[in-house]
A and B are shown apart, each in its own frame.
Chain A
Amino acid sequence: MYKHVVFCALPFLLLACHKDEPVVVTPLKATPYTLTIPKGLPVMNIPADNPMTVEGIALGRRLFYDPILSADSTQSCGNCHFAAFSFTDSARLSIGIDQIKGMRNAMPIMNLGWQKLFFWDGGAIGLESQVIGPITNPLEMHDTLPNVALKLNRHPEYPALFRRAFDLPETEKVSIPLLMRAIAQFERTLITANSKYDKWKRGETTLNEQELRGMALYEDMGKGDCVHCHTMGSAFSDFEFRNNGLDAQPADLGRMRITLNSNDLGKFKTPSLRNIELTAPYMHDGRFQTLDQVLEHYNTGVVNSPTLDLNLAYAVPGRLSQSEKDDIIAFLKTLTDLDFVRNKDFQNPF
């Protein structure tokens, strides 16, 4: 009888054994991340093929600060784009890994998710495409894309981090397009909208008399007239390409380098004035160290050339007194967002 029981029980025992076998684990999918857009800023268009994820942003941040992306592994994006300076540095022209100066002043990284064209001449289309510029520029990180891909694939941690961030199958290697997307995801999180000016707009604080005078001069078409190009609001720029009268014969072709159109000679992207107090020196070649020098340029220093912006061609020289310049500078300082530059989520994770 017992034999009979055992034989009967055997299939059930086998079934029980089957149940205890390890279950196949499906890899976790990347966690979708919803960007918080501060009040007053428009909707950000995020490319459909690069949605924001928690893991993608973390990976992008790590890569941003990792010197592995340079040929000799000494320089990362963060070496010329410091959070404390609103993601630029304090150099006129930054120095690359070969100890050679670059051609143009490093640009701050803030609110770029709302922009389409990058570099002073707008050569990069899309935030993702900008990434491979500095990495391969001989004057900057001076690496090659095959070498970068090789280093990332050989790294003890990056392959797993990329697989996790982009839901990659085990067989798919780390690739350059995904490097570009990870860094772009991180950069989209670098949003500044909490300056004194923003708080004043939201009714959370007051501007003092000098700052208010400065704002009025900023908007006054017969005085600062800054508003013509550095439109007030979310961006403090319209990002158009302009020749702002720096040189009679521009040494740097600017936008013309991209369009090959002589009407674009010496034209550069109008930058945002947010955090301008922190992003000295100024202009595409960093020639002005102080905001006073910048304003004096617009006041008396504008030089004529065939492509000079018409707004400046008709501006009256000497229209600003020193105290008026001081007022405008006081207003410009209200655009500084210390929460942005101190945000730990944006800083070097290493």
Chain B
Amino acid sequence: MRNLLVLFILLSVISCKKDLEVIATSVAPKANLTVIFQTEVDGKAIELGGNTFYTNADGNQYALEMLKYYISHLSLVSSDGKNDYLLENHDLVDPATPGSEIMPIDSVLNGQFDSLRFYLGVDFDHNHKGDQRGDLDPINGMIWTWNTGYIFFKQEGPIKKANGSAGYLIYHYGSDPALIQVSIPLNKMEVKGVDRKIYIKFNLNDLYGNPNKIDFDVDYFRQSSLVSDLHWLGQMEGNFPGAFSLGKIE
């Protein structure tokens, strides 16, 4: 009888030890994701400063002195539809400010995800109010002060016209209809207790050529504020969804 008791105790201890080992190797229930926007031209990270010239689909040459854009309402769409995430963010991506391209999505429960979605621009409620702090602060130079509303995408820099003469491009893209939703397939990305990074590429040459070819000789000064800007605005609206694509997932 006593031997049986000793055996029982021994077995309990051994099985307890086994349980402890199992606990030590189990997976965390969630992880932190980081979305990183990479602004580029045909695979190469952009250089600001106005000296590096790129060529777009229409054969225009352009360099960049300023490039900024708003990304808002980041969301993760889960494969089973039960684990979706939606951020109420408005982030200003400015390649001149390192770190502005990084957006965390913290504490994502383990699961599988079909796509990452976001908006290029500022949503309606936030687009009609100027006294906002953080990335929507007017000090960022992305607001129209005579017509309350934000510039969703701003690009400025020298261009070389078709006839060889020097020019300058000013694009202030905005207004409510210009808010564009972008959806990036994630190919059933798994979250399994380990932090991951999702890189999203933003190719300016796709913005200027896919599918609508933008000609800088004609469209070099567009501030979304004249009737004559509406055609350009429509072309750009059509190109934004295709300008973003999945880079890599780490």
Which residues of the partner chain B approach A133 to less than 8 Å between Cβ atoms?
145-146
Which residue of chain B is the closest to A260 with respect to CB atoms?
A: B227
Q: How far is the CA of A125 from the CA of B131 in the complex (A)?
A: 11
Interface residues of A in 131-163 (CB under 8 A from B): 131-133, 135-137, 145-146, 149
Asked if A123 is at the interface of the complex by the 8 Å CB criterion, the answer is: yes
9 A-B interface contacts by CB (under 8 A): A50-B131, A123-B148, A128-B131, A136-B145, A178-B131, A180-B131, A180-B138, A260-B226, A260-B227
Nearest opposing residue in chain B for A261, CB measure:
B227
Q: Please report the total number of A residues contacting B with Cβ < 8 Å.
A: 29
Q: By the criterion CB–CB under 8 Å, are A125 and B148 in contact?
A: yes
Contact A126 B129 (CB under 8 A): yes
Contact A129 B139 (CB under 8 A): no
CB distance from A320 to the nearest CB of B (A): 37
Q: Given A149-B139, A175-B139, is A129 in contact with B148 using a C-beta cutoff of 8 Å?
A: yes
Q: How far is it, in angstroms, between the C-alpha of A132 and the C-alpha of B143 when the chains are bound?
A: 10
Quick one: which of A84-137 are within 8 Å of B by CB?
A: 119, 123-126, 128-129, 131-133, 135-137
Interface pair A177/B131, CB less than 8 Å apart: yes
The docked-state distance in angstroms from the alpha carbon of A126 to that of B147 is 11
Interface residue A258 (Cβ < 8 Å from any Cβ of B): yes
Q: Which residues of B contact A181 (CB under 8 A)?
A: 131
Which residues on A sit within 8 Å (CB–CB) of B16? none
Any chain B CB within 8 A of the CB of A30?
A: no
A254-277 at interface with B (beta carbon < 8 Å): 257-258, 260, 262
Which 4 interchain pairs have the tightest Cβ spacing?
A129-B130, A128-B131, A177-B131, A125-B148
Most buried by B among A132, A146, A258: A132
**Which of B130, B133, B146 is close to A126, meaning CB atoms less than 8 Å apart?**
B130
B230 in the interface (beta carbon within 8 A):
yes
Tell whether B137 is near chain A: CB-to-CB under 8 Å. yes
Contact residues of B with A, CB < 8 Å?
128-133, 137-139, 141, 143, 145-148, 225-227, 230
A232 at the interface (CB under 8 A from B): no
A123 touching B131 by the CB < 8 A rule?
A: no
Instruction: Report yes or no: B133 in contact with A175, Cβ–Cβ below 8 A.
Output: yes
Tell me, yes or no, whether A176 is within 8 Å of chain B by CB: yes
How many Å lie between the Cα of A258 and that of B148 in the bound state? Answer: 9
By the criterion CB–CB under 8 Å, are B138 and A126 in contact? no
* Chain A residues packing against B (C-beta within 8 Å): 49-50, 119, 123-126, 128-129, 131-133, 135-137, 145-146, 149, 175-178, 180-181, 184, 257-258, 260, 262
Q: Decide: B138 and A177 in contact? CB cutoff 8 A.
A: yes
A126 touches B226 (CB 8 A): no
| Given known A176-B138, A177-B137, contact A132–B145 (CB-CB < 8 A) | yes
Chain B interface SS verdict (over half): loop
A contact residues around B131 at 8 Å (CB): 49-50, 126, 128-129, 176-178, 180-181, 184
Considering residues B145, B225, B226, which has the most beta carbons from chain A within 10 angstroms of its beta carbon? B145
| Residues of chain B with a CB closer than 8 A to A145's CB | 138-139, 141
Shortest Cβ distance from residue A29 to the other chain B in the assembled complex, whole angstroms = 19
Cα(A258)–Cα(B132), bound, Å = 21
Chain B min CB distance to A330 (Å): 38
Residues of A within 8 A of B146 (CB): 119, 123-124, 133, 137
Partner of A146, one of B130, B139, B143, B145: B139
B139/A260 in contact, CB under 8 A? no
Given contacts A129-B131, A131-B130, A176-B138, 14 further A-B contacts (CB under 8 A): A123-B147, A123-B148, A124-B147, A125-B129, A126-B129, A126-B148, A128-B129, A133-B145, A137-B145, A145-B139, A145-B141, A177-B137, A177-B138, A260-B225
Closest CB of chain B to A122's CB: distance in Å? Answer: 9
Could you tell me the distance in whole angstroms from the C-beta of A85 to the nearest C-beta in chain B? 23
Chain A residues within an 8 Å CB radius of B141: 145-146
B145 touches A125 (CB 8 A): no
Closest approach, in angstroms, between the C-beta of B179 and any C-beta of chain A?
16
How distant is the Cα of A145 from the Cα of B131 in the complex, in angstroms? 12
Residues of B within 8 A of A128 (CB): 129-131
A127 to chain B, nearest CB (A): 9
Most buried by B among A136, A176, A181, A257: A176
The minimal Cβ–Cβ distance linking A23 to chain B, given in whole angstroms, is 32
Please name all residues of chain A whose beta carbon is closer than 8 Å to the beta carbon of B226 when the two chains form the complex.
260
Residue of chain A at shortest CB distance from B128: A125
Shortest beta-carbon distance from B149 to chain A in Å: 8
How many Å from the CB of A251 to the closest CB on chain B?
A: 16
- From A134, which residue of chain B is reached at the shortest CB distance? B145
A125-B128, A128-B131, A129-B130 in contact; A260/B230 too (CB < 8 A)?
yes
The reply to whether A177 and B147 contact each other, CB–CB distance below 8 Å, is no
Kindly list chain B residues whose C-beta atoms are within 8 Å of the C-beta of A146.
Answer: 139, 141
